[in-house]
A and B are shown apart, each in its own frame.
Chain A
Amino acid sequence: MAQRLGAPFCRRGRAPKLAAGDPLSPPAVLTALILILAGLALLAVVAVPLARFAWAGLVVHGFCLFAAAVLAGVGLAVLLAGALPVQALPLGVPALVAVDALSAWFLLLLGLAAACSALFGLAHPLAAPRLLAAYPLFLAGMALALVAADGFTLLLGFEAMSLASWVLVAADHAQAENRHAARRYLAFALLGGVCLVPAVGLLGGVAGDLSFAAIRVAPPQGWVAAAVLALVVVGAGAKAGLVPLHNWLPLAHAAAPSHVSALMSGAMTKVAVYVLARLLLDLSGPAQPLWWGVPLLVLGAASAVLGALRANLEEDGKTLLACSTIENIGLICLGLGLAACFRAADLGVLAGLAAGAALLHALNHAMFKSLLFLGMGEVAHGAASRRLDRLGGLIHAMPWTAGAVLVGAAAAASLPPLSGFASEWLLLQALLAAWRVGDLAFQVLGVAVVAAAALAAALAAAAMVRLFGLVFLGRPRTPRAAGAVDGPMPARLALLLPAALTILFGLLPGTLLGLAEGAVQVLVPHGMVERSGLAMVRVGDGGARYWPLALTLLLAVVGGAIWWLVRRRAPAGVARGPAWDGGFMAPPQHLPFGDPVTQPSAAGFGQPLRRMLGGSLLAAHESVEMARPGDPGAARVTSGFTDPSEARLLAPLARLRDALAARAEQLRDLPLTATLMLPFGTLVALLALAAWLEAG
Chain B
Amino acid sequence: MTFGSTGYDIAHLLGGGILLLSFVLLYQRRLEGVIGAFAIQGGLLAAAAAWQGWMQDEPGLYVTALLAFGAKALLIPLALRLLLRRLGLHRTVEPALGIGPSLLAASALVGLSVMVVLPVTAGQAQALTRENLALALSVVLLGMLMMIGRRNAISQVIGLLSLENGLILAAIGVRGMPLVVELSTAALVLMLALVAGIVVFLLRDQLATLDTDVLHGHQGERHQGERHQGERHQGEGP
A interface residues, Cβ below 8 angstroms from B: 661-662, 665, 669, 671-673, 676-677, 680, 683-684, 687-688, 690-691, 694-695
Known: A687-B112, A691-B112, A694-B119. A672 touches B212 (CB 8 A): yes
Interface residue from A661, A672, A687 paired with B238 (Cβ < 8 Å)? A661
User: How far is A687 from B237 in the complex, measured between Cα atoms in Å?
Assistant: 34
With both chains docked as a complex, state the minimum distance between the C-beta of A658 and any C-beta of chain B, in angstroms: 8
Q: Which residues of chain A are near B55, meaning CB under 8 Å? A: none
Q: Which of A662, A673, A680, A687 has most B Cβ within 10 Å? A: A673
- The reply on B215 being an interface residue by CB < 8 A is yes
Q: Which residues of chain B are near A677, meaning CB under 8 Å? A: 148
With both chains docked as a complex, state the minimum distance between the C-beta of B120 and any C-beta of chain A, in angstroms: 7
Q: Which residues of chain A are near B216, meaning CB under 8 Å? A: 671-672
The answer to whether A662 touches B238, judged by C-beta atoms less than 8 angstroms apart, is yes
Can you name 9 A-B residue pairings with CB atoms under 8 Å? A671-B213, A671-B216, A672-B215, A673-B151, A673-B212, A684-B141, A687-B116, A694-B116, A694-B120
User: How far is A563 from B151 in the complex, measured between Cα atoms in Å?
Assistant: 98
Chain A residue at smallest Cβ distance from B97: A673
- The reply on B115 being an interface residue by CB < 8 A is yes
- The reply on B176 being an interface residue by CB < 8 A is no
Chain B residue at smallest Cβ distance from A687: B116
Q: Which residues of chain A are near B56, meaning CB under 8 Å? A: none
User: How far is A277 from B21 in the complex, measured between Cα atoms in Å?
Assistant: 62
Tell me whether chain B's interface is mostly helix, strand or loop, or mixed: helix
The answer to whether B112 touches A680, judged by C-beta atoms less than 8 angstroms apart, is no
Q: Which of B148, B151, B212, B238 has most A Cβ within 10 Å? A: B148
- The reply on B100 being an interface residue by CB < 8 A is no
User: How far is A145 from B116 in the complex, measured between Cα atoms in Å?
Assistant: 40
The answer to whether A673 touches B219, judged by C-beta atoms less than 8 angstroms apart, is no
The answer to whether A680 touches B213, judged by C-beta atoms less than 8 angstroms apart, is no
Given contacts A669-B219, A687-B112, A691-B112, 4 further A-B contacts (CB under 8 A): A671-B215, A680-B144, A691-B116, A694-B115
Q: Which residues of chain B are near A694, meaning CB under 8 Å? A: 115-116, 119-120
Tell me whether chain A's interface is mostly helix, strand or loop, or mixed: helix
With both chains docked as a complex, state the minimum distance between the C-beta of A155 and any C-beta of chain B, in angstroms: 29
Number of interface residues of B (CB under 8 A): 22
User: How far is A611 from B157 in the complex, measured between Cα atoms in Å?
Assistant: 73
Q: Which residues of chain A are near B213, meaning CB under 8 Å? A: 671-673
The answer to whether A676 touches B147, judged by C-beta atoms less than 8 angstroms apart, is yes
Known: A669-B235, A673-B213. A695 touches B119 (CB 8 A): yes
Interface residue from B116, B215, B237 paired with A690 (Cβ < 8 Å)? B116
Chain A residue at smallest Cβ distance from B237: A665
User: How far is A690 from B115 in the complex, measured between Cα atoms in Å?
Assistant: 9
Q: Which residues of chain B are near A672, meaning CB under 8 Å? A: 212-213, 215-216
B interface residues, Cβ below 8 angstroms from A: 96, 109, 112-113, 115-116, 119-120, 141, 144-145, 147-148, 151, 212-213, 215-216, 219, 235, 237-238
User: How far is A688 from B141 in the complex, measured between Cα atoms in Å?
Assistant: 13
User: How far is A673 from B215 in the complex, measured between Cα atoms in Å?
Assistant: 11
With both chains docked as a complex, state the minimum distance between the C-beta of B200 and any C-beta of chain A, in angstroms: 14
Chain B residue at smallest Cβ distance from A689: B116
Known: A669-B219, A690-B120. A684 touches B148 (CB 8 A): no
With both chains docked as a complex, state the minimum distance between the C-beta of A174 and any C-beta of chain B, in angstroms: 28
Q: Which residues of chain B are near A680, meaning CB under 8 Å? A: 144-145, 148
User: How far is A691 from B113 in the complex, measured between Cα atoms in Å?
Assistant: 8
User: How far is A669 from B141 in the complex, measured between Cα atoms in Å?
Assistant: 25
Interface residue from A662, A676, A695 paired with B115 (Cβ < 8 Å)? A695
Known: A661-B238, A671-B216, A672-B215. A691 touches B115 (CB 8 A): yes
Chain B residue at smallest Cβ distance from A677: B148
User: How far is A434 from B87 in the complex, measured between Cα atoms in Å?
Assistant: 87
Q: Which residues of chain B are near A690, meaning CB under 8 Å? A: 116, 120
Q: Which residues of chain A are near B219, meaning CB under 8 Å? A: 669
User: How far is A537 from B145 in the complex, measured between Cα atoms in Å?
Assistant: 76
Q: Which residues of chain B are near A695, meaning CB under 8 Å? A: 115, 119
Q: Which residues of chain B are near A671, meaning CB under 8 Å? A: 213, 215-216
Q: Which residues of chain A are near B215, meaning CB under 8 Å? A: 671-672
User: How far is A661 from B237 in the complex, measured between Cα atoms in Å?
Assistant: 10
Interface residue from B119, B235, B237 paired with A662 (Cβ < 8 Å)? B237
Q: Which residues of chain A are near B237, meaning CB under 8 Å? A: 662, 665
Q: Which residues of chain B are near A683, meaning CB under 8 Å? A: 141, 144
Q: Which of A676, A677, A695 has most B Cβ within 10 Å? A: A676
Chain B residue at smallest Cβ distance from A661: B238
Q: Which residues of chain B are near A662, meaning CB under 8 Å? A: 237-238
User: How far is A680 from B120 in the complex, measured between Cα atoms in Å?
Assistant: 21
With both chains docked as a complex, state the minimum distance between the C-beta of B152 and any C-beta of chain A, in angstroms: 12
With both chains docked as a complex, state the minimum distance between the C-beta of A695 and any C-beta of chain B, in angstroms: 7
With both chains docked as a complex, state the minimum distance between the C-beta of A385 and any C-beta of chain B, in angstroms: 40
User: How far is A561 from B30 in the complex, measured between Cα atoms in Å?
Assistant: 111
Known: A671-B213, A690-B116. A684 touches B109 (CB 8 A): yes
With both chains docked as a complex, state the minimum distance between the C-beta of B108 and any C-beta of chain A, in angstroms: 9
The answer to whether B96 touches A673, judged by C-beta atoms less than 8 angstroms apart, is yes
Chain A residue at smallest Cβ distance from B113: A687
User: How far is A672 from B116 in the complex, measured between Cα atoms in Å?
Assistant: 28
With both chains docked as a complex, state the minimum distance between the C-beta of A46 and any C-beta of chain B, in angstroms: 41
Q: Which residues of chain A are near B147, meaning CB under 8 Å? A: 676
Q: Which residues of chain A are near B119, meaning CB under 8 Å? A: 691, 694-695
User: How far is A671 from B219 in the complex, measured between Cα atoms in Å?
Assistant: 9
User: How far is A671 from B145 in the complex, measured between Cα atoms in Å?
Assistant: 16
The 6 closest A-B pairs by CB, nearest first: A671-B216, A694-B119, A691-B115, A691-B116, A676-B148, A680-B144
Chain B residue at smallest Cβ distance from A688: B112
Known: A661-B238, A662-B238. A673 touches B116 (CB 8 A): no
With both chains docked as a complex, state the minimum distance between the C-beta of B45 and any C-beta of chain A, in angstroms: 22
Chain B residue at smallest Cβ distance from A691: B115
With both chains docked as a complex, state the minimum distance between the C-beta of A654 and any C-beta of chain B, in angstroms: 14
With both chains docked as a complex, state the minimum distance between the C-beta of A579 and any C-beta of chain B, in angstroms: 59
User: How far is A671 from B215 in the complex, measured between Cα atoms in Å?
Assistant: 8
Q: Which residues of chain B are near A691, meaning CB under 8 Å? A: 112, 115-116, 119
Q: Which residues of chain A are near B235, meaning CB under 8 Å? A: 669
Chain B residue at smallest Cβ distance from A670: B216
User: How far is A680 from B219 in the complex, measured between Cα atoms in Å?
Assistant: 21
User: How far is A202 from B215 in the complex, measured between Cα atoms in Å?
Assistant: 47
Chain A residue at smallest Cβ distance from B122: A694
Chain B residue at smallest Cβ distance from A658: B238
User: How far is A661 from B145 in the complex, measured between Cα atoms in Å?
Assistant: 29
With both chains docked as a complex, state the minimum distance between the C-beta of A13 and any C-beta of chain B, in angstroms: 46
With both chains docked as a complex, state the minimum distance between the C-beta of A124 and any C-beta of chain B, in angstroms: 44
User: How far is A691 from B151 in the complex, measured between Cα atoms in Å?
Assistant: 31
User: How far is A695 from B96 in the complex, measured between Cα atoms in Å?
Assistant: 34
With both chains docked as a complex, state the minimum distance between the C-beta of A83 and any C-beta of chain B, in angstroms: 42
User: How far is A673 from B96 in the complex, measured between Cα atoms in Å?
Assistant: 9
User: How far is A665 from B112 in the complex, measured between Cα atoms in Å?
Assistant: 32
With both chains docked as a complex, state the minimum distance between the C-beta of A352 and any C-beta of chain B, in angstroms: 51
User: How far is A173 from B219 in the complex, measured between Cα atoms in Å?
Assistant: 40
With both chains docked as a complex, state the minimum distance between the C-beta of A11 and any C-beta of chain B, in angstroms: 41
User: How far is A676 from B97 in the complex, measured between Cα atoms in Å?
Assistant: 13
Interface residue from B145, B151, B238 paired with A665 (Cβ < 8 Å)? B238
User: How far is A690 from B216 in the complex, measured between Cα atoms in Å?
Assistant: 34
Q: Which residues of chain A are near B116, meaning CB under 8 Å? A: 687, 690-691, 694
The answer to whether B112 touches A684, judged by C-beta atoms less than 8 angstroms apart, is yes
The answer to whether A673 touches B112, judged by C-beta atoms less than 8 angstroms apart, is no
Q: Which residues of chain B are near A669, meaning CB under 8 Å? A: 219, 235
Q: Which residues of chain B are near A684, meaning CB under 8 Å? A: 109, 112, 141
Q: Which residues of chain B are near A665, meaning CB under 8 Å? A: 237-238
With both chains docked as a complex, state the minimum distance between the C-beta of A669 and any C-beta of chain B, in angstroms: 7
With both chains docked as a complex, state the minimum distance between the C-beta of A7 and any C-beta of chain B, in angstroms: 36
User: How far is A662 from B145 in the complex, measured between Cα atoms in Å?
Assistant: 29
With both chains docked as a complex, state the minimum distance between the C-beta of B210 and any C-beta of chain A, in angstroms: 13
Q: Which residues of chain A are near B120, meaning CB under 8 Å? A: 690, 694
Q: Which residues of chain B are near A676, meaning CB under 8 Å? A: 144, 147-148
Chain A residue at smallest Cβ distance from B238: A665
Q: Which residues of chain A are near B96, meaning CB under 8 Å? A: 673
User: How far is A665 from B236 in the complex, measured between Cα atoms in Å?
Assistant: 10
User: How far is A672 from B219 in the complex, measured between Cα atoms in Å?
Assistant: 10
